[in-house]
Amino acid sequence: MLAAPRLEAEGLHQRFGRRVLFRGLEFALGAGDSLAITGRNGAGKSTLLQIVAGVLTPTQGAVRLWLNEEAVEQEDRSLRVGLVAPYLQLYNAFSAEENLAFLAQARRLPAAAARIAAVLDRVGLGGRGSDLVGTYSSGMKQRARFAAALLAEPSVLLLDEPTSNLDEAGRSFVETLAEAHCEAGGILLVATNIESEVALCDRALGIEN
C-alpha cells in the first residue's frame, strides 16, 4: 500500500509580471481522492501542477503535503510525487533503463534493477528498456514518462494531459492506472480539457476565472 497522503492548497495566487494566472485557489485531498484541473489554454493548469509538485513556488499561498501524517518539506516534495507531462523530457541518447537508473540513483531508491524492470513492464515497455529513448515512437516516450513518474511508487500522482500521443491501448492503460492508484489510497490530479481525462477524477476544479 502507498503511504497515506494528505494534500492541501491554501490561497494560491500566481502571476508572471503583470499577468495573473489565478488567485485564491484552494483545495484539500486525502487518500483515494482525485481532482481534475480544467481551464482554457494558458489559464495555468500546468503551472498549478508544477506548484503542487514543488517545482515552482507560488506568488502567494502554500501547498502542504503529509505522508502517513508526517509533513513533507517543500524542497523534498518533488521527490515524493510523480509528475507526467509532455514537456518533461528523458535523455534520447540513453536507453529507458539508463534514464531510470539515473533517476533511481538521484532518489537513492533501493533495488534499482528490479524496480526498473517492474515499472517498465507496468507501463508496457517490457523488453524495450535497453532501446535508446531517441528511437521510441511518441507514444512509447509518453509511456517512458509514466515509468519515470512511477519509479518511486509515489502516493501523489500528477498527470498533465496524460493521454497525449497515446493510442487506444495507451489510453486504456492510463484509465486503469488512474483507477488503481486511487484504489491503493493515492491522490490523483489531472490537468486537462479532454472530457475522457476529466472523467478519470471524482471532482473538478475550473480555473478559467
pLDDT at 209: 57
pLDDT at 110: 87
- Is the pLDDT at 136 greater than 80? The verdict is yes
Specify whether the CB–CB gap between 86 and 161 falls below 8 A. yes
Q: pLDDT (tens digit, 9 = 90+) per residue, 91-106?
A: 999 999 999 999 999 8
Give the closest residue to 204 by CA, choosing from 36, 46, 39. Answer: 36
Q: What distance lies between CA 161 and its chain's CA centroid? A: 10
- Is the pLDDT at 1 greater than 80? The verdict is no
- pTM value is 0.94
pLDDT at 137: 95
Fold for domain 1-80+155-209?
Answer: Rossmann fold (3.40.50)
Cα–Cα dist 140/125, whole Å: 7
Domain boundaries, the chain: 1-80+155-209, 89-153
Specify whether the CB–CB gap between 109 and 154 falls below 8 A. no
Q: pLDDT (tens digit, 9 = 90+) per residue, 10-41?
A: 999 999 988 888 999 999 999 999 999 999 98
Largest CA distance in the chain: 50
- Is the pLDDT at 42 greater than 60? The verdict is yes
Q: What is the mean pLDDT of the chain?
A: 94
Cα–Cα dist 76/89, whole Å: 21
Q: pLDDT (tens digit, 9 = 90+) per residue, 152-209?
A: 999 999 999 999 889 999 999 999 999 999 999 999 999 999 999 999 999 999 987 5
Residue 199, C-alpha cell as written in the block: 472523467
pLDDT at 200: 96
Cα–Cα dist 187/61, whole Å: 21
Taking residues 48-61, report their average pLDDT.
95
Q: Which has the higher per-residue pLDDT, 146 or 207?
A: 146
